[in-house]
Amino acid sequence: MAVYKQLPGPSNRTAGYDLRRKTMRGAQALPSLLPLLLALSSLSVVSAASGKQDQVYIVYLGGHAGVKAEEAILEDHHHALLLSVKGSEEAARASLLYNYKHTLNGFAAILSHEEATELSERSEVVSAFRSEGRWAPHTTRSWQFLGFEEGLKGPDGSDWLPSLDKSSADVIVGVLDSGIWPESRSFSDEGLGPVPARWKGACQGGESFSSSSCNRKIIGARYYLKAYEAHYNGLNTTYAFRSPRDHDGHGTHTASTVAGRTVPGVSALGGFAAGAASGGAPLARLAVYKVCWPIPGPDPNIENTCFEADMLAAMDDAVGDGVDVLSVSIGSTGAPMRFADDGIAVGALHAARRGVVVSCSGGNSGPKPATVSNLAPWMLTVGASSIDRAFDSPIKLGNGVAIMGQTVTSYQLPGNKPYPLVYAADAVVPGTPANVSNQCLPNSLSPDKVRGKIVVCLRGSGLRVEKGLEVKRAGGAAILLGNPPASGSEVPVDSHVLPGTAVSAADAKTILAYINSSSSPTAVLDPSRTVVDVRPSPVMAQFSSRAPNVLEPNILKPDITAPGLNILAAWSEASPPTKLDGDHRVVQYNIMSGTSMSCPHVSAAAVLLKAAHPDWSSAAIRSAIMTTATTNNAEGGPLMNGDGTIAGPMDYGSGHIRPRHALDPGLVYDASYEDYLLFACASAGSQLDPSVPCPARPAPPYQLNHPSVAVHGLNGSVTVRRTVTHVGSGEARYTVAVAAPAGVSVEVSPRRLRFARPGEKKAFRIKMEAKASGKGSGRVARGQFVAGSYAWSDGVHVVRSPIVVLVA
């Protein structure tokens, strides 16, 4: 059924105010901005005196023991540091935005470049870096598919999730994103017991959000925008709630994917993907940390930004509040920064120190290599793949050729008859640049040439849904959106504002050839329908960002892949399904694609492992998820990319997630906070904690006890060391099997490991040697990435690790 009516139950309106569609109300917003604007204006006067604009900087001082009594001491120290560069108590107090004191030691303040430089030269300061808006969100059936793929109860998933989730009611997952729509049925607390007694968080009130907006499901909610407002001089509350309430939809979607309750009878607009919606850990508790806000511009609904100072404050609070898992579907939009200057990496490091698992999206810039983000080894970095569901939309060309498109638009062309077909490049207004003439960018189409026709547009520049809006503006009858070659057969679906569908790159080529061969091309767009059990599946999404890790190529990223293509989940009723200003539809569930969608799948798996193994470290949980992943699809063949090529570790890391297998991994690769500090010393010469000095000659980065192996620049031979911990039951004997990368010999010693008891550790070595370059079997060209694997097995468990080598 179409779900765009008001939900029963608690009203979504307060004091005559419609939460689903915010109206222009600048006069009402002004009073709440006045204190901040006055403060900012006073700071800008100080800036004017120096002739330069001050900025928000994060001053990172390392870690601390986490003792509550130390927090006041840390605040005093932060104030003293600010006073030393500001010169007066008043200026020091006015410049401070955040004290980071729960899990790490640092602060965020408005500083000049000179002040930040002076602070960075202090011996106790690890780094002082600008908090920039270079971060953004990486924007049902998926959990049933994961159960089916693991051979559990068939394709409907049956009872496999409740059986895993029954102990997760005491696990708390924090979600950093754009907030939450608390009235969604996905966040009902029906049947849940009391809030865990260890919870120390808060339900922060604000615009259209009060303490009663939280319940036994949403047990905490906070919002952070001091750095955002310092940069943009305030918040336009026409497009955002000054509260944890979600105006965008992204945060509601990710929160319900990780821990939404099981809700029967839901669907996207138009009845697509009908069925029961459920998060991966439906009994887990949610803590919401709103850190992403609209970018001012012509259509602020379209894109959000997230500032590091705000995110780091949220991560610090989240760990102090008592979360067990942090789900962060946010990544850098620019070049990666070194770990000491990366707010998410710093926050994740100190979260891991407290045993909190941090799962992050890997980015949507694929299939180009070296595009993956969130690169630190102490976090889980997630790629995106498909599930076994499609939304078939038959297309009949005038020459009799039948093509299958994909769409979830609720609009249909009337009459079930042929409509004229036109290529966008043949219907643009004069002056449209030739290189984008086929992409239906805003105001590019000529109404005289497209009116009443199906317009063929190609993906590329601009948003897919905006292309549909442009076709509608120009009077087109429908949009037919074609993939570029790089996207292959992967088709993200959209709820367009007019009839339409999307096709693969090969089918787009067929359609264009037909248009060029006919004087009066036509097409019929038949009604679309939801189809399941699509094969092959899963398939790696072409948009999913790829390896290598440009910051530290001796650590393979992404770590894992999970469902992220065309995922149905809860949505904010303040945001239309396309997020476009011209779209006035209201939905409660929406379909989205991106590593933002795959990240909460892995976060939910971490919740389930945390419930089953509360004493495991974050590294052990990460290891279990990675070493039990599969590199095969549901049919037993190799995982493929969306362009039809065979995928590998550079695409998916360790493979596709299998949550049930991860519960019993057999062996794990563990690592400590000190191990990560030594890794940072070797990787970038970064001393991330002043209390732990870097050794003169740290071990190479590939010696970190990580569940995957990457060696960049192999010249001759190298020996990598690893240690595994037995987490099964009783005695165990494991034997290793090696699939060596092409042109590289791999020798593991010893080849057998015997464990007398659970918790016992065993070390082993992996010697890799490059064979001589040249022609012939078994040789590899220099400068080429090659992949293989090794796996330990006791006959029940298979503990597999990928190997990626770049031969120098």
* Residues labelled catalytic: 177, 250, 596
Nearest-angstrom CA–CA distance, 429 and 437: 9
| Closest CA relative to residue 403, chosen from 499, 507, 526, 536 | 507
Q: Give dist(CA 131, CA 342) in Å, integer.
A: 9
**3-class DSSP state of 26:** helix
Q: What is the β-pairing status of strands 454-458 and 478-482?
A: parallel
Q: DSSP labels for 140-190?
A: -HHHHHHHHHTTSSSTT-TTHHHHHHTTGGG-EEEEEES-B-TTSGGG--T
Query: Is 563 in contact with 443 (CB distance < 8 Å)?
Result: no
Spatial separation of the C-alpha atoms in residues 623 and 182, rounded to whole Å: 33
Cα 478 to chain centroid distance, Å, stands at 32
Retrieve residue 618's tokens: 């974050």
Torsion of CA 357, 362, 363, 369, to 10 degrees: 170
**Residue 415: exposure state from Cβ atoms within 10 A (0-12, 13-18, ≥19):** exposed
Name 632's bridge partners. 638
- In 3D space, the residue among 380, 342, 351 whose CA is nearest the CA of residue 172 turns out to be 351
Residue for token pair 């060696």:
711
Looking up tokens 């690169």 gives 375
Q: Output the CA–CA distances (angstroms, integers) from residue 501 to 175, 526, 626, 741, in the order listed.
A: 33, 10, 36, 42
φ/ψ of 580, rounded to 5, equals: -80, 145
CA distance 54 to 109: 10
- Compute φ and ψ for 435, nearest 5 degrees: -75, -10
Residue among 535, 538, 559 at smallest CA distance from 547: 559
Strand partners, 793: 735, 798
What's the rounded Cα separation, in Å, for the pair 805 and 808?
A: 9
**Distance from C-alpha of 675 to C-alpha of 474, rounded to nearest angstrom:** 60
List, in order, residues 6 or more apart from 213 with CB less than 8 Å away. 182, 203, 221, 244, 245
**First-to-last C-alpha distance (Å) of the chain:** 58
Question: Which stretches of 247-303 are DSSP H helices?
Answer: 250-259
What does the block give as tokens for 373?
């983000």
> Do residues 223 and 244 touch, judged by C-beta distance below 8 A?
yes
- DSSP letter for 36, please: H
- Of 535, 790, 465, the C-alpha closest to 654 is 790
- Which of the 8 DSSP states describes residue 424? G
